[in-house]
Every structure is written in structure tokens, then in C-alpha cells.
Structure 1
Amino acid sequence: MAMLSVLAAYTAPFLINYNQSQIEYLFIYILVLDVGVLAVVFFKRNVFLNLLSFIFTGLYFLIWIYNAEKYYDYSNYGIAFFYLTIFYIILFPINTISKIRHSKAFIPFELSSIIVLNTLYYTAGSILLDVLNPDYKGLFTALVTILNLFFLFILLNVKRTDKGLIFLLIGLSMVFLSLIVPVEFVGKTITIIWSLQMVLLLWVSQKIDIKMFRIFSAVWILVVTGNTIFELYQTYSMISPQAELRNMFVNIDFVSGLMSSIGLLICIYLVSTEEKIYYLKPVKISLYQAMVGVFAISILYMNIYIEIDYNITIFIESELSRQILLGIYNFSFIFLLSIPLIVINSRPAKLIGGILISLSIVFFFFHYTLIIIQSRDEFLAGGGITLAQFWYHLFISGIIVAMAFSTYLNYNKLLQGHKFWSRYTLWPFIIIILTILSLELDHFWILSRGENNIATADILEKVHRMPYTILWSGFAALITLVGTLVHSHQLRQVSLFIIFVALLKLFILDIQYMDIANRTISFIGMGGILLFIAFVYQFNISKINKDD
């Protein structure tokens, strides 16, 4: 009878078709019912009454907000915010007081209702403050933090309070406390709340071993990932030279994506502290970490990429220049990812990571070198790119060299047990450096002579002859010296290969286009380089004999 009477009381406003504008009377009526339910559940536990008060209070408030937004009626938002806070303060003890009074443990459903209550209160309050005064959102976030800390303080003074509720309130307080700064300075997004909640659910599940919370956390990870990708797509679609100027890296879109990726990384860290094999059967923790890691890194990459692209599109006119700047970011990100591969012990991870980074280097030579050449030609043609913007590509070249070196270190450890392949791990690194130096020689030669209205093809034809040969020979001499100093047999081998190719090029391709004077200069130069290499080898042999 009690349940039927309370149900009838909560459904009465639907039957009389209450006036939307007279919300104060409706809220007072609902408040009286909630206080009555609180009095009942204080003496006798009744889950059904808890649900009735929670569902109908939230339902009436959401319906009122929906109608107010639909008809643009914002006149009662101040009153609504006051009653919203009162409802929150009443509903919390309704859902907890019976278990606390009888010192009983909370079931996962009851703990989940506390999370839902905080989420609904914060979401509805933020919607109201969007109209009342958005500047108070940070203060409102602090209010929610204080209320949770207040409940926590009371419960800490009650003997035999369920630890699950204590940990949950600690987590909620930490969540809203961490939200104050981003909300105060850059606004609020639901994605930030969800990101913190997925971490909170996992943390609480570890403290009180609730399987349902682990499931909720995993579901929340998928929700956060999907919602963040959707938000990033919306931001990406707004990129244009006429886009609204905003603070770089200090705006709601970027902070939202950053919080998502940080939350995912924290989840990975939390499960790494466990001694379990399975996150939830049949999902192993290693698989969970791999999947969440892919989500986190993907969101982090896209978030920074879109933020950079958004801002440089506004300020930089040349599309080629923008691609060069984005290339600096792309390869910097990949290089940072390559560093952990050097120290990890997982062979599959080292192999897969090494292959992906190697493909990135190949992509540079087949794609970005064309962009760099086009930007050079655009500068010579008097296009929108400046000389400084063209030379930005040197950062990419330097990063590619660093990536090649990290790949060498990775493969050097990976192939330690292979006698044949381990002899050639350094070769790709040296060849990549020489290729980049050759490309840069092209750019330098063309820019130094392009102002004389000489065709680029004619300049390249000349630089690809003797200048290339001298460069390769000089580079071979340099790495011969380095190989001798560091006692690297591979360096000396690859230097001999390069000098051999340079000599073949000289006698087969170059010499037929030279006059007597150039031939004499070339032979003298090559002879000097070969003499230097021979001297270094002789010095090395003498040192070995002396040591013996």
C-alpha cells in the first residue's frame, strides 16, 4: 500500500497536466514527496521507494528543462537551479541512509546510482548556468566537490560505514576537484566528465572488487573514445582560413581530447598494477592494455594534429608550407613512439614497431620529398612560401635521421642471434643519411643558381655528376674515420661500398661529360680522399698490430 500510494503521488502531476510556467509549485510538491520518502527509508529499507524518488524527481526535472529549451523560456532558471541543488542533497541520503544506519554493504547497483546522481546534477546544473551565467561553472564545480566532501566527512564519523561508499566519494571528490581548473579556464564538456568517470569506476572496482564497475569502465572507454573521435571530426570540419581564432592548446576542444587520452593512459597504468591475468574473462590484461593504448595514442595524435592544422591554416597561406609543418609534427610523434621500442623486451612489439617506423621512413622518401621539391619550386616561382618556410623541412630531415638511428638500435637488439642479418643493421641508417645529404645538395645547388634563370633540370644534371661523387666520397671518408675511432666494422664496410659506388659513377657516368680541366680536378680530389681512407685503414691496422 505504501508503494502504491507513493507511486500515485509521483504520477499525479502527469494526470492534472501541470502548468510549465508554475514550476515552483511542482518542485515544492516533489520536494515534499522526497522528504516523505526519506523519512520512510530512514526507518525501513525499501529499494522500490528509492527508485521511485530517484526516477520521478529526475524525470520531472529533465522534462521541464527540455520544454524550457524547446520554447526558449529561461525565466525560471534561477529557481530551478536552487531546487536542483535541494533535490541532490535530499536524494543522496535517500539512496544511502538505510544501508549506513544498518551498517550493511552497498551493492554495485546502489553505488552506481550515486555516480548517476552526481552526473545528472552536474549536467543539469551546467545547462542552467549556460543561460544564467557561464562564468559560474567553475564555482559550481567547486560546489559539487564540497558537497561530496561534506558527505564523505559525515560518513567518516559513522562507525562501520561501507568502504565501497567511502572510496566512491573519495573518487567523486577527486573527479570534480580535477575539473575545476579546466572548467574555469576553458569551459566544460561532457567528455571530460566521462573520461574521469571511467578512471573512477576502474579505481573503485580495484579497491572493493566489484566486477560490474570493471564492465562499466570498459563500456565507458568505448563511449569516451567514440565521442572524442566525433568531437575531433567536428573540429576538423571547421578548419579553414576564415575559422574563428582561438588560443592554441588552451581551448575546450583540445582540452577535451587531451583529458580523454590521459584518462585512457591512466586506465592502462591502473591495470598494470594488478597481478591478475584477465581484465574480465576472456579478455586478458595484455589485450586490454594494447587496445586501450591504441585508443589513447590515436586520440592524442589526432587531437594535436587537428589543433596544429586549425591554427596554421589561419595564419599560413601556402598549402605546401602547412604540409611541411604538419610533417614536422607527424614524424616527431612517430620518433617519440619509436624510443620505447629500444628498451622494451617484447620481440613482437619490437618487430611490429620497427616495421611501422621503417614504412614511415619509406613514406618520407616517396611522399614528403615531393612536397619539399614542390615547395622549393614554388619559392623560386615567387609563390606564397618564404625561404624560411621552405627550410623548415630540415627539421623533418633531422627527425628522419633520428628515426633511422632508433630503428637501427631496435633491429640491432632484435637480430642479435642472427649472424648474417646482424652484420647489416647499420647499413640502412648510413644510406638514409647519405640520401638526405644528396637531396639537400640538390636544394642548395638549385637555390644558389636558380636566380640566374637557369632551368632546374639543367642544374640538377650538373649537380648529379661531380658534386654527388665528391659528396659520396667525402662522406665515405668521414664514416671510415668514425668507424675506426669507435671500432665499428660495419661502418668501415659500408664506407668501402659507398666509395666503390662513387668510383663506378665517376668512371662510367661522369667522366664522359668532363673536359680535361674538370677531369684533372676530379682525379686529384678523388685521389686525396682515397689516400685519406687508405691512411685511416693503415693507422687502424698498425694499432691492432701494436695491441697484439
Structure 2
Amino acid sequence: MEGLLVLLTLTLLVLVIILLGRFSGLARDVGQLRQQLSEFTHRGAKPDAMPPMQAPAEPRPVVPPPPVITPPPTPGIISPPVVATEPEVPTADEEALARMRAAFPDPEPATSVRVNLNKPPVVQAPVVRPPGAPPPPPRPGFFERHPDLEKFIGENLINKIGIAVLVLGIGLLLNYAIGKELLSTTAQTLIGLGAGGLLVFFAHRLRLDYRAFSSVLVAGGIAIFYTSIWFAFHEFHLIGQTLAFIIMVAITGLAVALTLGYDRKELAVISLLGGFAAPFLASSGEGNYKVLFTYLLILDAGMLVLANYKKWYVINVLAFGLTALIMAAWAVGGYPSLEPPPSLMAFTFATAFFLVFYAMNLRYNLRHRHSFTGLDHTLLLVNTGAYYAAGMYFLGDRETRVTGLFTVLLGLFYLLFALYFHRREGVPRTLKLLLIGLVLTFISLAAPVQLQGSYITLFWAAEAVLLLWFAHRTDLRLVERGSVAVTLLMLLSLWMDLLGLYSTTADVLMRPVLNKAWITGMACAISLGATTWLLRRSDRTVDLVPGISRGGWGVFTLVMGIVVLYVVNILELRYQLVRVLHPTVANIALMGFTLLFLLVLERFLQHVAKAGRVVLFGLFVLAAVVFISGYYVNSRAALWLVFNTEQGQGFVLLHALAFVLMVITVVRISLHAREAFVRPSAVWNFYLVTISTFLVVLASQELDHVMIFAQRSTDALTDARRVGYPILWGIGSFLFMWYGMRQRMRLLRVIALCLFAITLLKLFLFDLRSLSEGGRVAAFIFLGALLLVISFMYNKLKGLFVDDATTKNDAGPAV
């Protein structure tokens, strides 16, 4: 009974195909009749006798056409003459032919143009269009392209659904026959090939009259071919791998040839879907991934050949999407269960798929000089991302770490194509820029993928300079912008390295200076300096990125280079000093290094612009403020360590060096102020008051250090200040008065008098009752003598400084 059912099903299938052929012949006869009728109409032959039932038409009166007023011709444009023709009166023969055409309409009538015979034809003047191609018309929507939905479903949709159901039915029929053992494996394979052949044969017979329907039948036949060969090889083991490979190549070639011959997109789509569905029609659930991927590779190669002649996005998207989906499912489900994991073989298949789809995306556009659209770029990027993810996944199981090498090789692959397309004419600029962007991406990713720690930063430091140099040699703006991104990545990576390597909780101690942290930081500083140098040699007004010019970026790299140079060295100095000195004493050395760094930096940047000198002046002032605030507190604590513990060694020498550097810094501040400030002015007066106050505070703090060190204790500091400060401030007041008289600076003399007044008030109001008898004598005698000397100087030099200097050129050096 089951065998009869199988034969009945096959018989019905053959009968359906034969009936389709008969309907095709009938439709061909009707088409020939319509063609003959159309030829008769176009000949315009008149019949010999008038039809008996037709009365002769009465002649219509001829109405003369109204006069046509032609506008005067425009100068420079010659209008064609307007010819007025009399309208033709239709005859009875023509009316009879019109009735015959209405009885037998054409299957696809052309768009008719109604002519009003009552109005004479008017010849319009030519329209002068501006040069340039008109914008492309908007693409019509689905309902605009298919206004008759019933016709679309009946002529296009049903046949595609039907062929899919038919292929599925044949597959189910073969599975049924397998389960019931009604047919041998050879017979089942031959039945499948025969059914596919019948579909292709009858589709070829119907190609002239039912082009769309025949293409669907051909696609179904190709899908059945794929399915039959897959069963014969993978399930029935009737043929070997080599023969199956050859036959599938032949089927793919046949599908491509038929697709090109029919020029039907749906044929390619259905053939492709059938080809991808064939491996999954097997019922055992077991499969060899090598056979599966080889089969898919053949199928995709056929689509590559098709893409060489047709630009059908749906083929590219379907082929790539289905291949990626199948491989991803295997990578997640089947790959981990294999022991050992076939990482190298899987990576080889992934590479082959990547190359096929890379060529598929580019071949047609480059060969036919077709423009690249956003979808082309998207497919290229998605293909690249999927391949890179697959490569990282499969190569991650290798014992040897090769993911970085894979990243570099992928970047070099795109670099070769970028250089080739750069020299070739007709390649879109967007494609070149996209390839260059991929090169920059993979070369930059190679370091963090393969290397660890500071090696990533070193790689990016070298790459940033190399990219900028290459961009200036080739005038590729995208590469130049890529160097900006790499520089920012380098700075971020350096910050992370310094935090980790110079951390106080680090397990491994680094040797002084020549360690990976210091070397990495110096390499980044050199990279930033080289970037600044390269930018100075280029056109600095050109925008590097939107809103930032090359000159602005050069200033940024210069500043960041200085910051990196300072931070790396001060971190290195602190890291090494805290191992041998108390942190409080080490901070004294760090203050001295900061002052030395600023003084050396000033020497190297003495010819910079005015803005740079202003920044240096601000840094000097900031260092001076830190010296008399935080540094003083830290030094007092270090002095306590000197006298009470054994951890204060090295303070005296380090403090002496820091104090000398601070004095030199004050001199440099005064020179910068002389160049920057106009005298007399409010800013200059503020500077004089500030620098005088700073000098008094600095001298007072240093006197504290001397007193503490001389008495070897901090307990006597209060008593020492009662005598020492009045004497020191009196000397300072005298020096201010002398310098103000010499340089004719009235404000400085006023500052000296104010300092004398503060000293006297402090002495009489706060210190006099607490001083010893010897201290009182010394203080009064010294201050009285200073006051008499100052009064004598006023009387002796009167008239020499009545008019203070008003310009900086006549005033001498500033304080």
C-alpha cells in the first residue's frame, strides 16, 4: 500500500508538469493570434466592401482651427516654426478596427495617449535645462510597484511558495521511503535527480511565455539536485568525497549559468536557499564539519561568480548571513565538544569564507566602476568584524599566543589593498579611507591583543609618530587623524602603567632609573616631542580634526610632553628615595627637583611665544607659593626627625640645595616680571607688594631653620623669634629702602617704611615684655641705628628721587 502511495504521488507530480506544458502550448497559440491581429492593425489595409449593417457616416463639417499666436522669439534662441495641421476625421474602417481591438485586447497594453481632435496641435518651444544631471527619482514603494495586489500574489508569490512546498514534499517523500525501506538508496537518489531534472526541463520549455514562473521551477530543480547529492554522499555513502565535490561544483556552475541566462533574481535566491537547506534535510543529526564547510564554501564560491556579473544585494546578504549563522552555531555547539579542538582547521575555513565574501563585496563595483553605497561599506565591516571575532575565538585555544600576529596580518592585508587602490584610478575615495581606517584599527589593536603592560604603551608611542610621518608623506588626512587617536590611547595607557608600576603596594621592586616604568614614560615623552616637531614642519593652520588645527594639536603635544617628562621623573625619584629616606625628607628632594626642572625648562623654552613665557612665570609663582607653605611645614617636620630620630639624615644637604634653587627662582621671577609688567601700573604695584612679602616670609622661615639647627631643639624657637625677627625685618626694611632709593621706586620705599612700622609695633606690643635684658638692648640699639641711617640717607639723597621712573627702560632691574 505504501509503495502504491509513493508511485501515485510521483504520477501526480508528472501529470501536473505535463498539464503545465499543455497550458503553455495553448497560451503560445493565443499569443500568435494576438500577434497576427496586431500586424493586421498596423498595416492599415482597408476592406473591399463596407459591412452590410454599417451605415455610411455623415461627413462632419470641417471647422477651421483658431489662429495660433506665436510669441516673439527670445534673442539668442531660435524657436522652431509652428506648423498647424488639420485634424484627421476617422473613417468607418478605422472604427471597425477599433471594435476588433477592443474585442481582443493585448495582454500588456501600452500606455495610450488621448488626442483631442477638436483642438489643433500646438508645438511648444524647447525648454532650456541648466547643465548637470537631474536628481534620481525616488524609489517607488511596494504598493506603487504592485498596485494590483491580487496580481502580485497570483503571479509572483504563490509560485515561490509552491516550489518551496514541492521541494519540501519531495524531501519528505524520500525520508518516508527511507523509513519504510520501500526503495533502495540508489533508487531514491535517482528519483531525486530525476525530479529535479524534470523541473529544469519543463522550466526551460516554459521560459518564453512564463519567464518568472519558469525561473522558480529552475530554482526548485537546482535545490533538489543539491539535496539529492548531499544524501547520496553524506547519508547513503553512494559516492566518495571527491566525486561529490565535483558534482556539487557542477551543480553550482549550472545554477550560476541558468541565473545569468534567465537574469532572474528569484532564481538565484531560491537556488541559494535550497543549497543551504540541503545539509539539514538529513535525519541522523550527525555531521562532519569538514564536509559541511567544504560544501558551503563551494556554494558561496558560486555566488561569488554570480556577483561578478550581477549586483544583487539580497544574494550577498543571504549568503553571508546564512554562512555566518551556520558557522557560529557550530562554533558554539559542536566545536567545544571536539577533543582536541580543531582550532587551526576552523580558522582555515573562517579565512576562506572571509576571502570569498570580501571579493563578493568588491568585485562587481570595481569591475563595472559602480559607486559604493552605505550597504557595501556595512557588509565589508560586518564581514571583517565576524572574521576577526572568529579568528580570535579559534586562535585563542592555541598553546602559542598568536592573536597579536593575526591582528597584524589582517591589518597588513588591508594595507596591501589600500596601497593598491591608492595607485589605481577609478576607485572611490570612500573605499580607500575605509581600508585605511581598518589598517589603523588592526595595527593599533595588535599591541593590547598580543602584549601586556607597558609594551602596549611603547607600541602606541612608536605608532603615533610613524602614522603622523606617513600621513605627511602621503597627504592622507585620515591617517593623520588616526595618529591623534593613537596618541590619546598612548597617554591613557601610560597613566594606567604609572599607577600600577609606581604603586606603593607593588610586589616587585624596580631598579633605579633603567626600569620599564621610567623607560616607558621617557619613550612617550620622546614620542610627544617628535609629534610636536613634525607638526611644526607642516602647515599649522590646517584643521587636524574639526575644531582643532595642527598648531593647536602641536601645542597640546608639547605641553603633554613636558607634563609626562616631569611626572615620570618625579615618580621615579620618589619611588627610589622612599626606599632609603623617610618620606618627609624625600619630599624635600622632590621640591628641589621641581625647582630644578622649571629652571632647566626655562632655558629650553626661552624663545617661545609670549603665552609660553606667561605660563612659565605662573609655574614659577606656583612653585614659590608651595615652597613657603607646604614645603615649610614639611621641613619643620623633617627638622624634628633630625633631632629626635635617626630618620632625618640627608635633610640638611637637600634643604640647602632646595633653598639655593628657590633663590634662583626668585631672581627669574623678577626678570619675567620686568619683561611682562608695565611701570607704573596697578599690576606692577601688586607685584612689588607680593614679592616683598614673599621675600620677608622666605627669610623668616629660613631664620627658623637656622635657629632650630643652631640650638638643636625646636623648644627655643619662640624665644629666638622675639629677637631674630625684629633684627631680620629691620635688615630687610633697610635693603628695601636702599634699593628703592637707588632705582627711584617710591612704592618700594613705602614698603620699607611699612615693614619698619610693623617691626616696631611687634617689638613694643608683643616682644618687649618677654625679652631678656640683653635681648632688649640688642634689639633697640640695632633698630635705632637703622632708623638713623635711613633718615641720613633721605637727607643726603633728597632731590635725587623726587620723580620716580615711569618706564621700565629707565628703572633698572626689578626686585
Cα pair distance change 1:382/1:229, threshold 3 Å: same
Give the number of the structure with larger relative contact order, counting CA–CA contacts within 8 Å between residues 6 or more apart.
1
Tell me what 2:428 maps to: 162
For 1:22 and 1:33, the matched residues in 2 are separated by: 17
Q: How does 1:372-521 map to 2 (within 5 A)?
A: 372-382=635-645, 385-388=647-650, 419-450=681-712, 454=713, 456-458=714-716, 460-475=717-732, 494=751, 497-498=754-755, 501-502=758-759, 504-506=761-763, 509-510=766-767, 513-516=771-774, 519-520=777-778
**Structure 1 stretches lacking a partner, 5+ long:** none
Displacement of 1:343 in angstroms is 7.5
Is the 1:404–1:432 contact (alpha carbons within 8 Å) kept by the matching residues of 2? no
Q: 1:43 aligns with which of 299, 309, 319?
A: 309
The one of 633, 643, 661 equivalent to 1:370 is 633
Cα offset for 1:151? 1.4
Cα 1:112–1:399 change in 2 (3 A) is farther
- Measure how far apart 1:89 and its partner are: 4.9
Q: Bigger shift: 247-256 or 32-41?
A: 247-256
Kindly tell me: are residues 443 and 80 of structure 1, through their superposed partners in 2, closer, same or farther at Cα, counting changes over 3 Å? farther
CA distance in 2, matches of 1:242, 1:132: 29
- C-alpha change, 1:505 and 1:521, in structure 2 (3 Å) is closer
Task: Note the alpha carbon deviations across 1:433-466, whole angstroms, 9 max, x for none.
Answer: 442343233234324433xxx4x132x2144233
Identity of aligned residues (%): 21
Out of 387, 391, 415, the position equivalent to 1:149 is 415
Q: TM-score, normalised by structure 2?
A: 0.44
Q: Is the 8 A contact 1:232 1:306 kept in 2?
A: no
- Cα distance, 1:446–1:27 mapped onto 2, change above 3 Å: farther
Q: For 1:160, give the aligned amino acid.
A: G
Name 2:516's counterpart in structure 1: 250
Letter in 1 for 2:432: I
Report the TM-score when normalising by structure 1: 0.60
1:337-391 Cα shifts (integer Å, max 9, x gaps): 9999x97789xxx89x9999978876765555434433433443326x4433686
| Residues 480 and 536 in structure 1, CA contact (< 8 A), matched pair in contact too | no
After TM superposition, give the deviation of residue 103 of structure 1 in Å.
Answer: 3.5
3-state SS, counterpart of residue 507 of structure 2: coil
Equivalence for 1:102: 368
- Matched-pair contact (CA < 8 Å) for 2:570–2:590: no
In 2: Cα distance, 1:12 partner to 1:393 partner: 86
Query: Offset at 1:423?
Result: 1.9
* 8 Å contact kept, 2:309–2:364: yes
| CA–CA separation in structure 1 for the residues paired with 2:339 and 2:734 | 81
Deviates most, 143-152 or 225-234: 225-234
Rg: which structure is higher? 2
AA partner of residue 133 (structure 1): T
SS in 2 for 1:239: coil
Letter of the aligned partner of 1:428 in structure 2?
T
Superposition RMSD on alpha carbons, in Å? Answer: 6.9
In the alignment, the residues of structure 2 paired with residue 167 and residue 397 of structure 1 have an alpha-carbon distance, to the nearest angstrom, of: 57
Q: Map Cα deviations across residues 471-499 of structure 1 (whole Å, 9 max, x no partner).
A: 44555566667778887666666555545
Residues 39-92 of structure 1, C-alpha deviation per residue, up to 9 Å, x if partnerless? 443333345555566667777788888889999988544455555655655554
Residues 117-160 of structure 1: CA distance to partner in whole angstroms, max 9, x if unpaired? 777777876774695434x6775565345323321332244222
Deviation of 1:100 after TM superposition, in Å, equals: 3.0
Q: Distance in 2 between matches of 1:490 and 1:114?
A: 75
Does structure 2 conserve the Cα–Cα contact (< 8 Å) formed by 1:379 and 1:387?
yes
**Aligned CA distance change for structure 1 residues 28 and 392 (closer, same or farther; 3 Å):** farther
Bigger mean CA deviation after superposition, 438-447 or 122-131: 122-131
Contact (CA 8 Å) 1:232, 1:253: kept in 2 or not? no
Secondary structure of residue in 2 paired with 1:44: coil
Cα–Cα, structure 1 residues 59 and 518, in superposed 2: closer, same or farther, change >3 Å? farther
Output the amino acid matched with 1:465. Answer: R
1:248-287 matches, within 5 Å, as 250=516
Write the distance in 1 (CA, Å) between the matches of 2:745 and 2:643: 43
Query: Using a 3 Å threshold, how does the CA distance of structure 1 residues 438 and 521 change in structure 2: closer, same or farther?
Result: closer
Count of aligned residue pairs for this structure pair: 513
What is the letter of the counterpart of residue 409 of structure 2?
A: L
Q: What SS is found at the alignment partner of 2:645?
A: coil
> Which residue type is aligned with residue 468 of structure 1?
Y
Quick one: distance in 2 between partners of 1:254 and 1:59?
44
What is the rounded CA distance, in whole Å, between the counterparts of 1:487 and 1:21 in structure 2?
A: 102
Q: Is 1:239 aligned to residue 503 of structure 2?
A: yes
C-alpha distance in 1, partners of 2:585/2:519?
25
Q: How does 1:81-96 map to 2 (within 5 A)?
A: 89-90=355-356, 92-96=358-362
Aligned-partner Cα distance in 2 for 1:532–1:53: 100
Aligned equivalents of 1:18 and 1:245: distance in 2?
62
Q: How does 1:319-358 map to 2 (within 5 A)?
A: 319-320=583-584
* Counterpart contact for 2:730–2:756, Cα < 8 Å: yes
Residue-by-residue CA offset, 1:9-41 (whole Å, 9 max, x unaligned): 779999999999987667656655654554443
Counterpart residue type for residue 773 of structure 2:
D
- Cα deviation for residue 424 of structure 1 reads 1.7
Structure 1 residue 469: Cα displacement: 3.9
**Relative to structure 1, is the Cα distance of residues 252 and 355 closer, same or farther in structure 2, using a 3 angstrom cutoff?**
closer
Contact map agreement 2:727 2:783 (CA 8 A) in 1: yes
Q: Measure, in 2, the Cα distance between the counterparts of 1:323 and 1:429.
A: 25
The answer on whether the counterparts of 2:591 and 2:627 sit within 8 Å (CA) in structure 1 is no
Deviation at 1:468, TM superposition (A): 3.4
